[in-house]
Amino acid sequence: MRFVTYATADGDRAGVLRDDLIHALPRGTALLDVLDRLPEVGARALAAPDEVVALAEARLKAPVPRPPSIRDCLCFLDHMRNCQKAFGQPSTLDSAWYRVPAFYFANPATVIGPHDDVPISPGSAWFDFELEIGAVIGVPGRDLTPERAADHIAGYTILCDWSARDLQGVEAHPLPEARPGD
């Protein structure tokens, strides 16, 4: 099933997309609230939708417009090597990159919908994006094996990671402080 969130005059609605039609979940039901039981919630919406809206008439939002957390992994080592080179650093990665899966916390307040304009950071001349796949976690867990982890994934979404690379470079490799007289 393909779940969506769309804007209405009364606020956001969630639904299941099938054949270019959105079959709405009951009013007040957000995907974030039902991630642990999407198959049954989706089946009910398809069988008896609260409303049906043509996809062409809907303004889609991010499936989970305000997730409680976003973690972006830094696991594609060739990408990390290329980033190092782009910022004038050696392409050799520290041994820690091979021992621990690195990630960072992204800002959940920056999530936008698939057709929304992407704001560019003021002062950025090198605005970049990475097309990624996001796993939406529906059931909490910790210290999971890869086999058990799959049971905690509610679904997947496309994630475009937009970055002001020039500003990010200054943040990651700060300029030396100005000294009096400089």
Q: What is the pLDDT of residues 81-140, one digit of tens each?
A: 887 888 788 888 888 877 877 888 889 999 999 999 999 888 889 888 888 899 999 999
* 181 pLDDT more than 80: no
**Six token digits for residue 27:** 């009013």
Q: How far is CA 11 from CA 5, 17, 30, 49, 168, in A?
A: 10, 18, 11, 17, 35
Q: Determine the pLDDT at residue 80.
A: 81
Q: Determine the pLDDT at residue 126.
A: 86
Look up the pTM and report it: 0.81
CB-based contact 1:42 (threshold 8 Å):
yes
The domains found in the chain, sorted by start residue, are 2-61 (no CATH), 70-172 (3.90.850.10)
Q: What is the mean pLDDT of the chain?
A: 88
- d(CA 109, CA 134) in angstroms, rounded, equals 16
Confidence at 52, pLDDT banded by 50, 70, 90: very high
Q: String of b and e for 69-108 (b: at least 16 CB within 10 Å)?
A: ebeeeeeeeeebbebeeeeeeeeeeeeeeeeeeeeeeeee
Confidence at 166, pLDDT banded by 50, 70, 90: confident
- Cα four-point dihedral sign 85, 88, 91, 95: negative
Q: Determine the pLDDT at residue 24.
A: 98
More confident residue, 95 or 37: 37
Q: Determine the pLDDT at residue 85.
A: 86
Average pLDDT over residues 34-63: 97
